[in-house]
Amino acid sequence: MDPIMQFEQARERRIKDQGKNVPLIDAANNFQEGSIKSLYSYNFSWMGRPLIQYPQDIVVMQEILWKVKPDLVVETGIAHGGSIIFYSSILELIGKGLVLGIDVDIRTHNRKLIEAHPMFNRIEMIEGDSVSEEVFAQVREIAGDKRTVLVCLDSMHTHEHVIKELELYSSIVTKGSYLVVFDTIIEDLSEDCIGDRSWGKGNNPKTAVHEFIKKTDRFVIDKAIENKLLITVAPDGYLKCVK
């Protein structure tokens, strides 16, 4: 057997088995709970910009980007800009593609640093509500002539907002690409991890994903990614477009 194929098949078996490894899953969940309380995800940056994500999710996003090679990556929620800088840097290595970041409030100091960054050449930004007709009309126009589109949702985390984003942005995701919904982990956390927020158990991105997935045959939850990561802020949030 070809050694590369042999390695890949062994990895697939290991990932599948890992998804059934209860002690390891429990250890990962315990780490996740404790690390969220300590704001662990705020410790990292990408090319100088704060990137408020878990390293595990960033690594797998790199894998997805390299495999899909999207012409357009859309992300709702910009914050400090680390994620859109990260996506842009991978697209730069691939040699094509545009990143479109959307945020209801792009703060002046963040905008200046994003626009001054060497990876800004592949970035466009829209300030506004991601689920408004005006904003999505702009997104749809930009996506219109793009052959491969990938979407990441990471803005307001209430069920109502995320389900609206899913219904809108799923329409521009192309077959074989992904619709990634971050912070689905909220549903699985204890109440003292969530704090005084407008979202919580029963009202969060995961509940929106579960409602959405029942109404579509275009997307499936890619559990292999979750089994690979174990530590992720997006359990059930990696949705593969199959139609």
**Cα 233 to chain center, whole Å?**
9
Please state the rounded mean pLDDT for residues 164-184: 98
Q: Residue 39's closest CA among 190, 193, 203, 180?
A: 193
Q: How many Å apart are CA 230 and CA 32, to the nearest integer?
A: 9
pLDDT digits (tens, 9 = 90+) for 121-145: 999 999 999 999 999 999 999 999 8
Question: Can you give the pLDDT at residue 8?
Answer: 94
pLDDT digits (tens, 9 = 90+) for 9-31: 999 999 999 999 999 999 999 99
Question: Can you give the pLDDT at residue 192?
Answer: 78
| Lookup: tokens for 46 | 């990408």
Question: Can you give the pLDDT at residue 32?
Answer: 94
pTM beyond 0.85, yes or no:
yes
Question: Cα angle vertex 50, ends 206, 198, to 5°?
Answer: 35
CATH of the domain at 43: 3.40.50.150
Count the domains in the chain: 1
Question: Can you give the pLDDT at residue 193?
Answer: 79
User: In Å, how far are 12, 19, 186, 217, 240 from 220, measured between CA atoms?
Assistant: 18, 17, 20, 8, 5
Domain interval for residue 151: 3-241
What value does the mean pLDDT of the chain take?
96
Q: Are 186 and 204 in contact (CB under 8 A)?
A: yes
Question: Can you give the pLDDT at residue 195?
Answer: 75
Q: Are 14 and 84 in contact (CB under 8 A)?
A: no
In one-letter notation, the amino acid at residue 32 is Q
* Coil, helix or strand at residue 99: strand
Question: Can you give the pLDDT at residue 187?
Answer: 96
pLDDT digits (tens, 9 = 90+) for 29-88: 999 999 999 999 999 999 999 999 999 999 999 999 999 999 999 999 999 999 999 999
% pLDDT > 70, the chain = 100
Question: Can you give the pLDDT at residue 45?
Answer: 98
Query: Count of CB atoms within 10 A of residue 12's CB?
Result: 12
